[in-house]
Amino acid sequence: IFDTNAQRFHYIILSLLSFIIANFTLTMASFPVDKTHAFGKLILFGEHFVVYKVPALVGAVSAYTDCKLEYTAEPGLEVIDNRPAVPLYKEKKTEEGIAAINLTLTHLGVDTKKRGVKLTFGGDLCCASGIGASAAQVVSLARAVNIADSRSMSEDEINAAGYEGEKGYHGTPSGIDNTAATFGGLLRFQRTEGAPIFDKKTLLSPIRIVYASTGITSSTTEVVGDVRAKKEADEAWFADLIGKYTDLCEQGQKAAEEGDMDKLGKLMNLNHEYLQELTVSCKELDDLVVAARAAGAVGAKMSGTGRGGLMIALTPTEEIQNEVASALEKLAPQVWKTTFA
């Protein structure tokens, strides 16, 4: 019973607001974060060389990052980062991470000055240099925008948004990390003047991998810049090295597809030597590589940016995989096992 029309109007408005708020809360509570998964990656062959438009071979790991997106009435950006990480990773990457998020949102036409955005990142991918955590973050963000706005973005469009976001972390990214984060599997990747070329590979048998962290977080932008400076200082030396690497990568792809683990391991060892020549390895990485080989790995190398970050070891059997993991746990702060299939 209402005494006046004004009271009736007031009641209707309050009812509508209650309905909107209740449904908004329900929508956010049920946001399908499982559909925002973006994978980490490990580079078998090609870190640093891939920047110069030669092929690389990369495998996605099963661990992932996810993202929940909520639009808020108050303009601005709020980021809650619940991802597991090695010590100091998030602290060192905070500025780059915000830049990457803003680049991704801008690319997708999301203006936080007009409408607020709250992002919550999670998942089981442990952030460490070399695992592709930055790419997984921005690809999961692109998937979250796609869901929140009820868009129908293709995987190529998700990948393109991830590439734009990667510029915040890496300056001039190769594109390999966001491609692995988007598509998963084992990929042959190559940059071109236009869109990158990638080819998903089918394996005769799974590739068992152990990877370990040095606990050191390095700046990809700085390391890539140092490699570029070495190239420009001695173009002939770099051309010879990249030529040897390109041949190695082709052999490595063939060995992976045929399931020749011994050959694949030897090529990984040689790739590590090339990366040492580029000065992107370090004592901590080299020590882990030596320990993995001594424990039974048929091949081991640094993976990713280098000067810290990760190393990977090729372990043909489950027994060897466990032995290598146990040996590395005595030296490395974090050790994981995974399989490329």
Instruction: Answer yes or no: are the C-beta atoms of 177 and 285 closer than 8 Å.
Output: no
**Residue 318 to residue 295: CA distance in whole angstroms:** 13
Alpha-carbon distance of 67 to 261, in angstroms, equals 36
Question: Average pLDDT, stretch 157-167?
Answer: 96
Query: What's the gap between Cα 282 and its chain centre?
Result: 22
Is the pLDDT at 164 greater than 90? The verdict is yes
Give 213-268 pLDDT, tens digit per residue: 999 988 888 999 999 999 999 999 999 999 999 999 999 999 999 999 999 999 99
Q: In what side-by-side order are the strands of the sheet with 334-340?
A: 299-303, 310-314, 207-213, 334-340
Q: Where are the beta strands (DSSP E) in 197-333?
A: 197-201, 207-213, 299-303, 310-314
Beta strand pairing status for 116-123 and 56-72? Answer: antiparallel
Pairing of strands 197-201, 186-190: antiparallel
Confidence of residue 205 (pLDDT cuts 50, 70, 90): confident
| Measured distance CA(66)–CA(77) in Å, rounded | 18
User: Which helix (H) or strand (E) segment is 246 a member of?
Assistant: helix 235-258
Query: What integer best gives the mean pLDDT of the chain?
Result: 90
Instruction: Transcribe 28-40 into DSSP letters.
Output: HHT--GGGG-EEE
Lowest model confidence (mean pLDDT) among 9-23, 87-101, 279-293: 9-23
pLDDT score for 26: 33
pTM of the model: 0.80
pLDDT of residue 16: 55
| Tens digits of residue pLDDT in 279-326 | 999 999 999 999 999 999 999 999 989 999 999 999 999 999 999 999
